[in-house]
Structure 1
Amino acid sequence: MIGFRKLSDDQPTLQLSPLLRAAHRTMQYADENSGIGLTATKAFQRKFVHWAVEHVDWPRYGPEEAFSVSKVVNEYEFPPIQVVHFLLLQLKLGRHYKGKFLLTKKGKDLLNSPGVLFDQLIPFFLLEVDHTSYACLDERPFGTWDVWLNVMNVELEQGLTERQLYGLFYGNGPDWDNAGWRVLAAFSSYVLKPLEWAGLISVHEVEGGSRRDWMCFKTALWREALRLDTGDEVPNIVRH
């Protein structure tokens, strides 16, 4: 079973969620600027996308990365904002009207309620969204969030590499430099990336390692927000 605890609006660990931060700042921008302009295909206009690149503070994707190839970035080239746009519409926190994205009354009511916004946004994003829809691969790993989260709740307490995490569920063998890279990539994009975007895990490049060496750790938000069946099995580790 997966449960999400209700978090108060002043819960400091909410700041650890990149997706919550991006959604909240998008909503603030829409409120303060009488909406966000849309293109003919109903994507956010570049003016806002460029602002978002500068202000949402997305992990490993700031202005330097975004504008390294081109000085123009469209919504589809900044997947986090594309996902935020989709989520706000799906959850009826925003709507399209006369060429603009506008907040609904429900959206405006949540502008000053980050705890409630988290409760609306993150469980839906993590458990209901098809994460292949914004990934480079259209493959998803075999398994369920119930299994992935409950196993990680115990095994990820002191951190593991993404390959070690994959091995917990599917065995060792696949690596980025052999024929198994696709299944490893599918697991990373379908499971680990959404958890990082939600702020439930943090991902760090291993110092001195190769480009594909990444360590994953549970965040304080994981411990505050998630209620899982394996909660009593988590090792009691002293943190300094």
Structure 2
Amino acid sequence: MCKLIEWPDYDQADAFRFNKVINEPDFLPLYVVRQLAQAATLVRVRRGKLVATPLGKSILSDAKRGSLLAVLFHLAFWRMDLSYFGRGLLGSWPQADAGVVLWSLSVCANDWQSAEKLTRLCTIPEAAMFSETWDRTPYAMEAKILRPLLWFGLLEHRTEKVPSGRFGEHHSYRKAELFDRLLAFDVQVDLSERGSALKAAASAARDFTRVRRGIAHPRHAAEH
């Protein structure tokens, strides 16, 4: 499996450098794919092995394959707990506001933006976050929203070395073409009561975020 899976911005040699024995959690791409496949009931464990369910076998047909990306995307952002990828940082924030964050990204991420700026522009901060000496919000945003979107092909990513130091990089993201093809939004903002409007939107995020089915990943479309 290590040789079969290609994953954006994933250095397999670097990830395996300190592991002589490779377990599934050590190989992030396989771990993510397995979690999604099980959440979608495409596979199940039988006698210690993963086997395809009837649904998993049927989804491979041309008629149903187009809906697979939308189903997995919906499960990832509204059913799975993505805090694992942020090591529990800030609990469910900002995934709990996924609809608001995705809509904001659709407006703010047309050009390259840093993870810090996208965090300020696209999330709803909580009061407790302002009392901390270290701003952890960009790291939570990147781990639970930006990188998963990169994995799905909805964002592009680039890094730049920090000029003033030997170590560290600036991470920037922008929308990929697939973002606007896959996601649609139905948003109404009352500017006279902006605060309450945003809170209402956050509490009903799924109501205005529509994941279009029948959209193939650009790479898969090219193969067909």
* TM-score class normalised by the smaller sequence: 0.5 to 0.7
How far, CA to CA, are the matches of 1:123 and 1:196 in structure 2? 15
Partner of 2:170: 213
- 1:133/1:66 Cα in 2 relative to 1: closer, same or farther (>3 Å)? closer
> How many residues of Structure 1 are paired with residues of Structure 2 in the alignment?
173
Structure 1 stretches lacking a partner, 5+ long: 1-50, 172-177, 231-240
Q: Secondary structure at the match of 2:51?
A: strand
1:121 maps to 2:72: yes
5 Å-filtered alignment, 1:84-95, equals 84-95=33-44
1:130 counterpart residue number: 81
**Alignment-mate amino acid for residue 200 of structure 1:** L
Structure 1 segment 45-124 matched on structure 2, within 5 A? 51=1, 53-113=2-62, 114-124=65-75
List per-residue Cα deviations over 1:185-238 (Å, max 9, x = no partner): 1122122122112221122112665623011010111021111236xxxxxxxx
Counterpart amino acid of residue 141 in structure 1? W
The residue aligned with 1:150 is 103
Q: CA deviation at 1:170?
A: 6.0
Q: Unpaired runs of 5+ in structure 2?
A: 126-131, 188-224
Per-residue Cα deviation, 1:11-37 (whole angstroms, up to 9, x for no partner): xxxxxxxxxxxxxxxxxxxxxxxxxxx
The 3 A distance-change label for structure 1 pair 75 and 229 is: same
Q: In structure 1, what is the Cα distance between the partners aligned to 2:60 and 2:11?
A: 24
In the alignment, what sits opposite 1:14? none
Identity among equivalent positions (%) equals: 25
CA contact (8 A) 1:150 1:229 kept: no
Q: CA RMSD in A?
A: 2.4
Given that residues 16 and 26 in structure 2 are in contact (C-alpha distance below 8 angstroms), is that contact kept between their aligned partners in structure 1? no
Query: Alpha-carbon deviations, 1:56-85, whole Å to 9, x = none?
Result: 111222432232223431101123322322
TM-score normalised to structure 2 length? 0.68
CA contact (8 A) 1:54 1:62 kept: no
